[in-house]
Amino acid sequence: MLNLERLRILHAIATYGSVSAAADVLHVTTSAVSQQMTKLERETGQQLLAKNGRGVRLTDAGKLLSGHAGRILSLVELAHSDLEAHRGAPVGELRMGAFPTAVRGLFPQALVAMRRDYPGLRAMVHEMEPEPALVRLARGDIDLAVVLDWYNKPMSLPGGLAKEPLLDDLADVMLPPGHPLADRDEVELGELADDDWIAWPDGGFCQEWLLFTLRGKGVEPRIAHHAEEHPTVLALVAAGLGVAVAPRLGRGPLPDGVRAVPVRHTMKRHIYAVWRSDADRRPAIRVAVEALRRAGEAVAAG
């Protein structure tokens, strides 16, 4: 009899490309992954992994079994969904992934509400960016993802996923102390054409959106610094090192002197809960989406 958890580990190696990456995703040590693969090879009587430089690769037998493992894990997930739906109560484990400001701005309230109202449900969140969250959701590593797109740059979803809006999150321009536009009630992006900009890291969805949006307003930005976390961005703005765009969700208090000024043509990002369509019947999905939606309403009202 093949062990389900060992099949899950093999599938993770095939999906993420290495033993260490699989260990990170599954939150176990690399030695534990290697030990489980040794046991799985013993169970199957075949070599599943082969050395490949400093890493490993799947043998033909490993690829064959990994394909079956993906289908088996999908059927197990469907069985869990059907059983939970039959029972009619949100119980068991619910694994969620969300980008940092959503974890900070939505999940504390949502998780507290779920723990209070559904004690049989073990809900947990992992911080991750939208693109890898969608990959992990499609692979079955998480059950629900909170992702975003921007008003002028929609994100396409892979097939087999369902979504529900949670919140429209407005974004403002962050201006340093003494900036000539800091006393304005609103600004046009084109008025910041001569400023240095503090932007998200290269290659990310939000960085691409920022360049796309500024260039659409006739601004070719001078990117002076890159930072991922909002407190870091705001600290750089406070030091007078540039201007930035910062959404309101999870932003936190502004440093002394920094002014958040709305943009005349409102900038906002749409925030969604996303889950696999075959899990639609799971009560845990529905109560999590509802708790996140209520948290989003509270943020908007605040």
In terms of DSSP bridges, do strands 121-127 and 92-98 run parallel, antiparallel, or are they unpaired? parallel
pLDDT computed for residue 88 by the predictor: 64
Residue 2 pLDDT > 70: yes
* Per-residue confidence band for 83, with pLDDT thresholds at 50, 70 and 90: low
Q: Is the pTM of this model over 0.85?
A: no
Q: Note whether 4-82 and 169-268 share their fold.
A: no
Residue 249 pLDDT > 80: yes
Looking at this protein, which amino acid is placed at residue 192?
L
Q: What average pLDDT is seen over the chain?
A: 88
Least confident of 18-22, 163-167, 255-259: 18-22
Q: Which of 60, 54, 117 is nearest to 286 (CA)?
A: 117
Average pLDDT over residues 4-27: 83
Decide if 274 contacts 90 (C-beta within 8 A). Answer: no
Residue 86 pLDDT > 60: no
Least confident of 117-121, 154-158, 171-175: 154-158
CB atoms within 10 A of CB 92: 17
Report how far residue 165's alpha carbon sits from residue 147's, in angstroms, rounded to the nearest whole number. Answer: 10
Least confident of 129-138, 169-178, 268-277: 129-138
Decide if 285 contacts 260 (C-beta within 8 A). Answer: no
User: Percent of the chain, pLDDT > 70?
Assistant: 96
pLDDT computed for residue 82 by the predictor: 66
Q: Which of 5, 4, 2, 36 is nearest to 19 (CA)?
A: 36
Q: Which class would CATH give 90-164+270-301?
A: alpha beta
Least confident of 18-32, 160-174, 177-191, 214-228: 18-32
Which CATH entry fits the domain spanning 169-268: 3.40.50.300, 3.30.70.100, 3.90.1150.10, 3.40.190.10? 3.40.190.10
Least confident of 48-52, 236-240, 246-250: 48-52
Structural tokens at position 51 = 């050395």
pLDDT computed for residue 29 by the predictor: 87
pLDDT computed for residue 81 by the predictor: 63
Residue 55 pLDDT > 90: no
Report how far residue 214's alpha carbon sits from residue 225's, in angstroms, rounded to the nearest whole number. Answer: 16
Which CATH entry fits the domain spanning 4-82: 2.60.120.1360, 1.25.40.10, 3.30.420.40, 1.10.10.10? 1.10.10.10
Structural tokens at position 66 = 């990994």
Decide if 224 contacts 240 (C-beta within 8 A). Answer: no
HSE-CB for 14 with a 13 A CA cutoff: 22
Where in the chain are the domains?
A: 4-82, 90-164+270-301, 169-268
* Per-residue confidence band for 227, with pLDDT thresholds at 50, 70 and 90: very high
User: Percent of the chain, pLDDT > 90?
Assistant: 45
* Per-residue confidence band for 89, with pLDDT thresholds at 50, 70 and 90: confident
